Structures are given as structure tokens and as C-alpha cells.
Structure 1
Amino acid sequence: MKEEMSSVDIRYVVRELQWLVGSRVDKVYHDGDEIRIKLRTKEGRADLILQAGKRFHLTSYVKEAPKQPSSFTMLLRKHLSGGFIDAIEQHQFDRIVKIRVGDYTLIGELFRRGNIVLVDSENRIVAALRYEEYKDRAIKPKAEYKFPPARENPLEVSFERFLELMREDENLELVRALARKLNMGGMYAEEISIRAGFEKTTPVRELSDEDLRKVYEAMMGTFNDEPRPNIVYKDGNMHDVVPIELKIYEGLEKRYFKTFSEALDEYFGKLTIEKAKIEKTRKLESKKKQLLATLRKQEEMLKGFEKAMNENQEIGDLIYANYAMVERLLDEFRKATEKLGWEEFKRRIEAGKKEGNKVALMVKAIDPKEKTVTIELEGRKVKLYLNKSIGENAELYYEKAKKFRHKYEGALKAYEDTRRKLDEVEKLIEEEMKKELNVKRIERRKKKWFEKFRWFISSEGFLVLAGKDASTNETLIKKHMSDNDLYCHADVYGAPHVVIKDGQKAGEKTIFEACQFAVSMSRAWSQGLYGADAYWAYPNQVTKQAPSGEYLGKGAFMVYGKRNWLRGLPLKLAVGVINYEGEDYVVCAPVDAIKAHTSKYIVIRPGRLKKGELVKKIRGILEKWGYKVREEDLNAILPPGGGEIVEVVG
């Protein structure tokens, strides 16, 4: 499975991302070995990710930034934020990208462990992800930045030079010669071999100059092929992501993308999520492993204690079951040892065994120090203490059984405690896995025309639009209001213009919702009002023509004729995720309009919570419902000023 981008990948993505030149650097984030550059482009926001030793592309998988920015982050922000991208380049054909922002250049080294280095206009190192020294160069503050030793660039090599390189070691197989001599991976060397019509294992010595010309042309054709970005799957799993159609992957399942950056983002984004998921549960899995090991030991101990408890109990019972015989043996053994002594007693027992004496054959061990004789009774070995009575001997075994019972009970309690801890850890792992799997990513895509404005879909299904500022107010009325629409406006200075598309077919409910939207998105909200007035009119009543002697600024219009008033409209909205034209959108709109399109929503009204706090609370609720929404997206759709949550439905 692919883990990092190749030189070919970098060539294609750098060519593709030239449209970012001229974009403004908004902010830079740093987490581990990757940085994310938040950009303001002509298409809106874009996030460029650069991961040392791994990848470089636009991303929609945006991690939450660390609460405490690193010193590297602060240096990057200091020198890059607010600047404009002047160039995005690949250094020769190496796995190195350069992003020039004003007087500074950010260099991403994507080979081996990798690095990210910021240099100034004099090519002096300002900051780096990590400082290191090599045989031929050093990455340290104020040192001159040097690229790694140059390698052959297959895009610039002439056929004569290509021929020379290939003939340097003619014993090499074609695929190895291409990979070693011309700075390309084995995969592309194999692809070129196939395109040229030769087996990859063909020794170079077997190829004529004309054959090598075919290889050369195949190489140039491969590295200049038309983009056809795709992710390659093997056995249902992602295997590779490539910028062009490759013959080596013919017959395998593929998923195609409009851009290579999108393909890279999908591939590495999912890879990152899987790794993050594994990392998130790694400690829990380690704890689970420890608990399982403890559980196995405790199970063995329980078995041992239970066995010892039962054996001792059974031996005590056995002594009483054979009371007369055991008492007789104790008496005989006691008298014999007192009369003969232990050594002579042992000798006579051994002699008795040879003669087949039944009592002697019962004896299995004699211990003069303990003054015990071990006999076999009904297949069990029973140690008898000659200085104790039969009752005392039996009691010894009952006491042992009792001790082992206590040990068993203690071990069982410990086992149950470990089992409970294991269940808790397994539950936590399951919850973490569910969290990761249930969170939806609302895809980044080119915004549709109506998203330039505040908008919602009324409960009757009509598209309602509102301006965000003077520019969008001007655009909305001039370019997007037609004769079949309706116009709405709040009786509040600076309120947005609101247009109901095809509104002359709309019912009273849609008009009410549009006017409520107009008052809620006005300054009345930030002033903490609970009600305000609004009106609706026809498009032909709205004009840029000002009364004599007056001038209407950007976004201002005059309304002539009858105004249809709605008084005391409540400032109350709801936030929810609705599906419109096949895509999910987070929308803030009148409650009835949201309720008509989703069963889960959050009702808000003006309140004392600061807007940032309100955004965080709403975001948290949406995440519990499975929607990963950025704070800035919520910030953009909410009314001006603070507020409070009055109801959560769902």
C-alpha cells in the first residue's frame, strides 16, 4: 500500500495547483510532521497540506488545530500569513516542492523522513520542522539552504545521455536500470517497460539502440501523459493513487476523480483517519492486552485453588470414610516407630513390600522429621501424622481446604474485577470506533451560486436568498431577482435584502418565513430584540433610482409603492443539516422551514452567549448527530451577534 508520493505524483499535482498562485495565505497550522496552509482563493477557502516525507495536495480532511501553537507554527505565521502565493514548483524531478510567498519560500522535502524548511530571499534558513546535519548539507538556523545532491532528471535528459546512462551497466535488468539511473520508482520503471513493449527483466545488453529509443519515448510519454487521476483497489482495499492511467493496473478496480488533488486527499485522508483511529485506541488496546494476560493468570490460579480445595476436602472425607482402618494403621505405625526406630521401620516396610505384604504396599513415603507416613487410599496419597489422632489428621486436610477456599474466593473477586475492567475497556474501544465511523465529512466542493448568499428552503419548498453584505446585497437584487420573485426587507437599518425565488407562486407560510428570516438576520438580533417588523413587495417596486438630490450607495435600493407589512415577527431560528439537490448543507433558517426538511434541529434566539461560544455548542450537538462541521461554516450561517439555545430536537 502506498505511503508517500512519488516524483511523478508531485510533478502532476504541482502542475494542477498552479491556479492557487495569487491566493492569500490566511493562516498556517502545524501538527506533528505536517503543516496546513489555509488559503483565500478566487474560488473561496482552500486548505493546502504539506506532510514531511509523505504528501502535498489540497485537503478537506481538516484536523482540529492544537490548542497551543508550536514555535514553528508562530514563525510560519509571522512570515507567511497575509502574504500571497507567487509560485508553486517542483525542484527538478525530485520529491521536493517549493511554495514562494513574497520574500519567503517554504520547501517541503518529501523523501525519506522528510522535512519542511522556511528560507528567506537570500536562501537562508529561517525555520525548519527539525534541524539536522548531513554529510553534504545542514538544516540549521541562518545556514544557507542546499538541495540534496542533484540526480538525473528524466524529463530533461537527451536521448544521447539516456543511452549513455543505460549502457553504463548493461548487466542490469531494464526495470532496475531505469529506476536507478533516472530517478524514478520501480513502479514507473515497470510501466515504461510495458509501454515500450519489453519484459521488465530484460537485461539492457539484449536491447539495441533502437529498442532503447522506444524505451526513451515511452518514458517521455508516461511522464507527459494526460491526467486521469484514480485510486486503485486490490481485494476491495485501497492500494495506490496515481495521476494517470497505468497499464500495470489494468483489470483492477479503480475510482476516478476530477483532479489528482481530490484523489490524493481521498486516499491519504482515509489513510490518516484509519491511522488516527488506531492511534486513538492504541493505549486502550494495550490495556486490554494486559487485562487479558492478567485474566489468563487468574483463571489458572482459580483452577489451582479449586483443585487443591477439593483434593484436601476429599482426603479429609476419605480418612473418615475409612475410619477404622486408618485408626488401626496410625496405631500400628506409631508403636512400630517407637519400638524399632524410624530407620528400622523403613527397612522393614521395604522388606514387606518385597514379600507382598498388603500394609507395606500401601506405604508410599516415610518422613522421620515430620513423623509422617504417606499411604495410598482409594487411589489417593494420604499423609498421616503419627503424633496426631485420626480426627486431628482429618482436620488438617479440612483446614487446608478452608484456606484454599478463602484463596479461591479472593482470586474469584479479583478475577471478576479484572473481567469488569476488561468489559469497560472493550466498551470504550467500541465507542471510540463508533465515534470515528459515524462522523460524516461534509465534502468540500465548488460552491453553488446560491451559497454566495444566506439561504434556506422554505417549508413549501421555495429557495429564499439574503445578502450577507453590501456587495452580495447589490448582486442579489441586480443579478438574481427576476419578475416572478418576491422581495422582503426588515424595518431595521442595514437589514439584508431577501428574495423568494419564484415567490409569486409561494403561499403565506413561505412569505412569513422569508420576512422572519429578514428580521432575524438584521441588527435586531445583535440588539437582543425578540420581535421586529418586515414587509414584502414585488420586484418591479425595487429600484436603484434614488429620489432627486439623493445618492444610493452600494447595496442600497429604493422600494416604491405598497409595502405589505408583517408586524412583530419573532427573532427565532433553527440550525440543522438538510439535503438539497442531492447534497448535505448546514442551514440556519426559521424553525418551520428547518423542521420541514429534517427531524433533528437546534432552536436559537438572541441571548447572552457570545457568538463563538454559541458556535461551539451547536457544533458539539451536530457532531453527536454524526455531522463534522467546521466552526467557520457555522459562523457564516448564524445571525450577527450572540444568542442562546432554547431547544434541541432529535
Structure 2
Amino acid sequence: MKEEMSSVDIRYIVRELQWLIGSRVDKVYHDGDEIRIKLRTKEGRADLILQAGKRFHLTTYVKEAPKRPSSFTMLLRKHMSGGFVDAIEQHGFDRIVKVRVGDYTLIGELFRRGNVILVDSENRIIAALRYEEYRDRAIKPKAAYKFPPARENPLEVTRERFIKLMREEEDLELVRALARKLNMGGMYAEEISIRAGFEKTTPVRELSDDDLLRVYDAMMGTFNDEARPNIVFKDGNMHDVVPIELRIYDGLERRYFKTFSEALDEYFGRITLEKARIEQTKKLEARKRALLMTLRKQEEMLRGFEEGARANQEIGDLIYANYAFIERLLEEFRKATERLGWDGFKRRMEEGRKAGNKVALMVKGMDPAEKAVTLELEGKRVKLYLERSVGENAALYYEKAKKFRHKHEGALKAYEDTKRKLEEVERLIEDETGKELNVRRIERKKRKWFEKFRWFVSSEGFLVLAGKDAGTNEILVKKHMADGDLYCHADVYGAPHVVIKDGQKAGEKTILEACQFAVSMSRAWSRGVYSGDAYWARPEQVTKQTPSGEYLGKGAFMVYGKRNWLHGLPLKLAVGVVNYEGEDFVVCAPVEAMKAHTNRYVVIRPGSLRKSELVKRIKRILEGWGYKVREEDLMAVLPPGNGDIAEVVG
């Protein structure tokens, strides 16, 4: 199974991605060996992934960004963010790509372990994924970047040069000679052999110059073939992803794509998900082993506490069962130690044992410091304190038994908790094992015009738009509000302008939803209030004209005439995935509007949960329903400030 791109793949993807030239670098992310460049293109957002030693293409499989950006990330952002892509190139026919942004170039080495290096306009290294030194070059700060030793470029080799190279080692098989001499993998060497009409194992010495020229023409035809991106399947599993139709895969199942980026993204994206799932399963298995070990230790502790409680309870009972006998012994031992001292008492017991005295034979130990004697009574060792009564001695053991029982209760709760955790981990392992890799992704090639605003579709089917900031507020009212629309605004300073397209045809439900949206998307949400007031008016009432001497800033408008107020509107919204104009969008809207377009949504309200954490929780819920949603897309549609999940429907 293919795990990295070939020189041919890079040639085709670089040629395909030329449309990205002129795109603006929004942000750069770094995770392990992967660099992701978030671009703003004429078609909307695009994410360009560069993985050292592996791949280079546009992607829709966007990982969650690390919480703390690495120093490499910060350097890339410093020099690239806000710049424009001026060039995307392949170095020769090598597995090296170059993305030039202004005065800086990001170089991706896709061979072997790989590397990603940022250089300045003088080709000096600013930063790298890994700093390394080789025999002929060094990757270190401020050093001049050098490409690896040049290899033969099959696209530039002449016919004469081709024949000369092939004749240098005539004992080689054709496929080996092509791969070794002309910087191509064995797969393409085999493809060229087939297209030229020769067995790949044919020794070069058996081929005439005319035969070799046929191979040369087949090589040029292969590397300049019409793009037909496809994933090749073998035995139902992905086997390879290629930019052109290859004869070596005749008879195998293929899935075709519009672009090579889409094919590469699907292929490597699924591999990434599968590896992540395997890694997650490994982590869960390790967690399971740790829990099983904890469970065994807890079981041993429980048995120890049970035995301790039982043994001490039995000794306490034993003392009471022999009350009179023990009381007499305590009295005799007390007098003996007072008269003879502990040394004398010890000698007396030793003499008694030699004489076969039953009481002396029962004594198994003495503790002068604690004034205690240990007896063996009915097969059990009982420590008795001479200065305590029989009842007090028994109570000591009962108290120990009680403490063991308390410890047992606590250990039992911990044991049950560990069992629950183990069951949860086993369930997660089962879920990971059975999980399909067909997570739906919300992906669009071109942004719709209304996506620059906050928006939703009302329960009656009307498009409702709201500004995100002063700039979009200005654009919404001046460019997109028409005579037949309705204007809504919340009674909160800085609240967004809201427009109902064709709103004069809308009913009360749509107007109510739009006004509720205006309140919920205002600062009232971040203040944590639960209701607010808003009004609606006609477009002709909204203007930039002000009373004499007054000035309105960007995004601000005056509203003259009657305002139609709606009071006590609840600050409550729903988040879900809605299909509109044939595409899926993640949308935040009033609950009734959301309910009209989907039966699965998450209801939110102002609360204490940080917005970033709220986004993560909603994302997990949506992914559980099969939607692949980016955190930044959720962040963009949610109201400003913290919140809580009030209800999950679906």
C-alpha cells in the first residue's frame, strides 16, 4: 500500500495547484510532521497540507490544532501569515516542493524521513522541522539551504542522453535501468516498459537503439499523459492513488476523482484516520491493561480488609468467650510483673514452659514497653494489655475490625468505580473496532455569498442574515438589503444588523425568529442574560443620514419612524447541520427555525462553559451523528461569549 507521493505525483499536483497562486495565507498550523496552510482563495477557504516525507495536496481532513503552538509554528506564522502565494513549484523532478510567499519560501522534502524548511529571499534557513547535518549539506539556522545532489530529470533528458544512460549498465533489466538511471520509482518504470511493448525483465543489452527510443517515447508519453486521478483498489482495499490511468492496474477496481488533490485527500485522509483509530485503540488497550492491574490490586486489598475485619472480630469474640479465664490471667500477670519486674516475669515463664505449665506454654511473646502479653488461645494469637480490662482489650479488636470494615467499604467503592471505567474502555474499544471510516465531511469548493454573514433559514423558509462585525454590518445594509426585505435590531449597543430577505412576505414566526437571533447574537449573550428586546422596521427607515452635527461610524445606521417592538425574547439557539441549496452547512439558529429543517440539533444558552470548550462538546455530538465539522466553522457560527448545552435532540 502506497504511503508517500512519487516524483510523478508531485509533478501532477504542482501543476494542478497553480490556481492557488495569489491566495492569501490566513494561518499556518503544525502538528508532528504535518504543516497545514489555511488559505483564502478566490473560491473561498482552502487548506494546503505538507507532510514531511509523505504528501502535498489540498485537504478537507483537518485535525484539531494543538492547544499550544510550537516555536516552529510561530515562526511560520510570523513570516507567512497575511502574505500571498507567489509560486508553487517542484524542484526538478525530485520529491521536493516549494511554496513561495512574498520574500519567504517553504520547502517540503518528501523523500525518506523528509523535512520542512523555511528560507528567506537570500536562501538562508530561518527555521526547519528538523535540524540535521549531512555529508554534503546542513539544515541549521542561518545556513544557506542546499538541495540534495541533483538527479537525472527524465523530462529534460535528450534522446541521445537517454540511450547513453541506458547503455552504461547493459546487464540491468529494463525496469531496473529506468528506475536507477532516470529518477523514477519501479512502478512507473514497469508502466513505461508495458507501454513500450517490452517485458520489464528484458536485459538492456537485448534492446536496440530503436527499441530504446520506443521506451523513451513511452516515458515522455507517460509523464505528460492526460490527468485522470484515481484510487486503485485491490481485494476491496485501497492500494494506490495515481494522477493518470496506469496499465499496470488493468483489471483492478478504480475510483475516479475530478482533481488529483481530491484523490490524494481521500487516500491519505483515510490512512490518517485509520492510523489514528489504531493509535486510539492501542491507547485504550493500554488503559485497559492498567485498569485490570488496578482491579487485581484492589481485589487483593479487599480480601486483606475482609480478612483483617474477620480476624479482629473473631479475637474480640474469643476474648469475651474466655472472659473469666482471661480476667484471671490478666490479674496474675499484672501482679507478677509488679513483683518480679518484666525480666523476672520472662524468666518465670521460661521456667514454666520447661516444666510443662499450661499457662506458660500459652505465652508467645511479651512487650514491656506496652505492658502487653501475647497468648495463643484456641489457635489464635491474642495480644492482651495488662493495664486494661477484659472488655477494654476486646474493644481494641472490635475497633480494629471496624476500621478494616470502613477501609473495605472505601476500597469497594473504588473497585466498583474501576470496574465501571473498565467496562467503558471495553465499550470504547468495541466502538473503535466497529467504527466505519465514512464520516461525513462538510466541504464546499466555493463559498456562498451569504456565508460572509451570520445566517439561518427561518421555519417559514426565509433567509435571515446578520452582520458579524462593523464591516459586514455596513455591507449587509448598504448592499444586500432590498425594498422587499425587513430590518431587525436588538436593544443592545453594538448588536448586529439583521435582514430578512423578502421579509415583507414573511409571517410572524419568521419575524420573531429574526428578532430572537438579533438579541442572541448581541453582547447580551456574553453578559449572561436570558432575555432581551428587539424591534423590526422597513428598509426605507434605515439610513446613514444623521441630525446636523452628528456622525455615524462604520456599520452604524439611524432608524427613523415607527419601531415594532418584541419584548422578553429568550436567548436560546440551536446548532445543527442544515441542507440549503443542495449543500450541507453547520448553522446556529433559533430553535424553532432549526427544528423545521433537521431533527438533530444541540440547544445552547448563555452559561459558564468557555466558548472553546462548548465548541469541542458540540463537535463531538455532531461527529457522533456522522458529521465531520471543523472547530473553526463552529466557532464562527456561535454567539459571542460563554454558553452551556441545554438539550441534545436527535
Q: What TM-score results when the alignment is normalised by the length of structure 1?
A: 0.71
Distance verdict in 2 for CA 1:286–1:587, change over 3 Å: closer
2:20 matched residue in structure 1:
20
CA–CA separation in structure 1 for the residues paired with 2:629 and 2:609: 20
Q: Deviations over 1:263-282 (max 9, x none)?
A: 11111010011111112223
Distance verdict in 2 for CA 1:525–1:145, change over 3 Å: same
CA–CA separation in structure 2 for the residues paired with 1:520 and 1:426: 41
CA–CA separation in structure 2 for the residues paired with 1:286 and 1:613: 27
What are the equivalent positions in structure 2 for 1:1-20 lying under 5 Å apart? 1-20=1-20
- Kept in 1, the 8 Å contact 2:52–2:108? The answer is yes
Distance verdict in 2 for CA 1:617–1:92, change over 3 Å: same
1:127 matched residue in structure 2:
127
Name which of structure 1's ranges 95-104 and 72-81 shifts more when overlaid on structure 2: 72-81
CA–CA separation in structure 1 for the residues paired with 2:150 and 2:473: 55
- Kept in 2, the 8 Å contact 1:49–1:55? The answer is yes
CA–CA separation in structure 1 for the residues paired with 2:487 and 2:445: 30
1:53 matched residue in structure 2:
53
1:450 matched residue in structure 2:
450
What are the equivalent positions in structure 2 for 1:320-399 lying under 5 Å apart? none
Cα drift, residue 561 of structure 1: 5.7
Corresponding letter in the other structure for 2:95: R
Distance verdict in 2 for CA 1:135–1:481, change over 3 Å: same
Q: Deviations over 1:234-273 (max 9, x none)?
A: 2221111112233333443222223212211111010011
2:612 matched residue in structure 1:
612
Q: Which runs of 5+ in 2 are unaligned?
A: 293-418
2:641 matched residue in structure 1:
641
Cα drift, residue 554 of structure 1: 4.8
The percentage of counterpart residues that share the same residue type is: 85
CA–CA separation in structure 2 for the residues paired with 1:530 and 1:246: 63
Cα drift, residue 469 of structure 1: 2.7
Distance verdict in 2 for CA 1:589–1:247, change over 3 Å: same
Say whether 1:237 aligns with 2:249.
no
Say whether 1:536 aligns with 2:536.
yes
CA–CA separation in structure 2 for the residues paired with 1:532 and 1:181: 75
The secondary structure found in structure 2 opposite 1:187 is: helix
CA–CA separation in structure 2 for the residues paired with 1:617 and 1:7: 42
The secondary structure found in structure 1 opposite 2:176 is: helix
Distance verdict in 2 for CA 1:533–1:5, change over 3 Å: same
What are the equivalent positions in structure 2 for 1:162-241 lying under 5 Å apart? 162-241=162-241
2:270 matched residue in structure 1:
270
- Kept in 1, the 8 Å contact 2:233–2:252? The answer is yes
Name which of structure 1's ranges 83-92 and 584-593 shifts more when overlaid on structure 2: 83-92
- Kept in 2, the 8 Å contact 1:462–1:500? The answer is yes
The secondary structure found in structure 2 opposite 1:57 is: strand
What are the equivalent positions in structure 2 for 1:29-48 lying under 5 Å apart? 29-48=29-48
Q: Deviations over 1:485-535 (max 9, x none)?
A: 433333444433323334344322112111221222233434444444333
Q: Deviations over 1:290-344 (max 9, x none)?
A: 999xxxxxxxxxxxxxxxxxxxxxxxxxxxxxxxxxxxxxxxxxxxxxxxxxxxx
- Kept in 2, the 8 Å contact 1:616–1:631? The answer is yes
CA–CA separation in structure 1 for the residues paired with 2:520 and 2:553: 23
- Kept in 2, the 8 Å contact 1:104–1:121? The answer is yes
Corresponding letter in the other structure for 1:53: G
Distance verdict in 2 for CA 1:495–1:127, change over 3 Å: closer
1:85 matched residue in structure 2:
85
Aligned residues: 525
1:573 matched residue in structure 2:
573
Q: Deviations over 1:414-467 (max 9, x none)?
A: xxxxx9999876444213445775865433543223222211121222222222
Corresponding letter in the other structure for 2:191: E
Cα drift, residue 92 of structure 1: 0.7
CA–CA separation in structure 2 for the residues paired with 1:73 and 1:534: 44
Cα drift, residue 91 of structure 1: 0.9
Corresponding letter in the other structure for 1:599: N
- Kept in 2, the 8 Å contact 1:60–1:444? The answer is no
The secondary structure found in structure 2 opposite 1:258 is: coil
CA–CA separation in structure 2 for the residues paired with 1:607 and 1:100: 45
The secondary structure found in structure 2 opposite 1:509 is: helix
CA–CA separation in structure 1 for the residues paired with 2:287 and 2:456: 49
Cα drift, residue 468 of structure 1: 2.0
Corresponding letter in the other structure for 1:125: I
Corresponding letter in the other structure for 1:5: M
Corresponding letter in the other structure for 1:194: I
Say whether 1:100 aligns with 2:100.
yes
Cα drift, residue 206 of structure 1: 4.5
Corresponding letter in the other structure for 1:254: R
CA–CA separation in structure 1 for the residues paired with 2:423 and 2:604: 40
Distance verdict in 2 for CA 1:281–1:121, change over 3 Å: same
- Kept in 2, the 8 Å contact 1:533–1:566? The answer is yes
Q: Deviations over 1:534-582 (max 9, x none)?
A: 3334456556677788776654556566544433333322222333344
Distance verdict in 2 for CA 1:67–1:644, change over 3 Å: closer
- Kept in 2, the 8 Å contact 1:277–1:436? The answer is no
**CA root-mean-square deviation:** 3.6
2:359 matched residue in structure 1:
none
1:386 matched residue in structure 2:
none
Distance verdict in 2 for CA 1:439–1:200, change over 3 Å: closer
The secondary structure found in structure 2 opposite 1:460 is: coil
- Kept in 2, the 8 Å contact 1:462–1:503? The answer is yes
1:303 matched residue in structure 2:
none
What are the equivalent positions in structure 2 for 1:114-153 lying under 5 Å apart? 114-153=114-153
Cα drift, residue 54 of structure 1: 0.8
Q: Which runs of 5+ in 1 are unaligned?
A: 293-418
The secondary structure found in structure 2 opposite 1:577 is: strand
- Kept in 2, the 8 Å contact 1:230–1:243? The answer is yes
2:593 matched residue in structure 1:
593
CA–CA separation in structure 2 for the residues paired with 1:20 and 1:281: 38
Q: What TM-score results when the alignment is normalised by the length of structure 2?
A: 0.71
Name which of structure 1's ranges 551-560 and 611-620 shifts more when overlaid on structure 2: 551-560
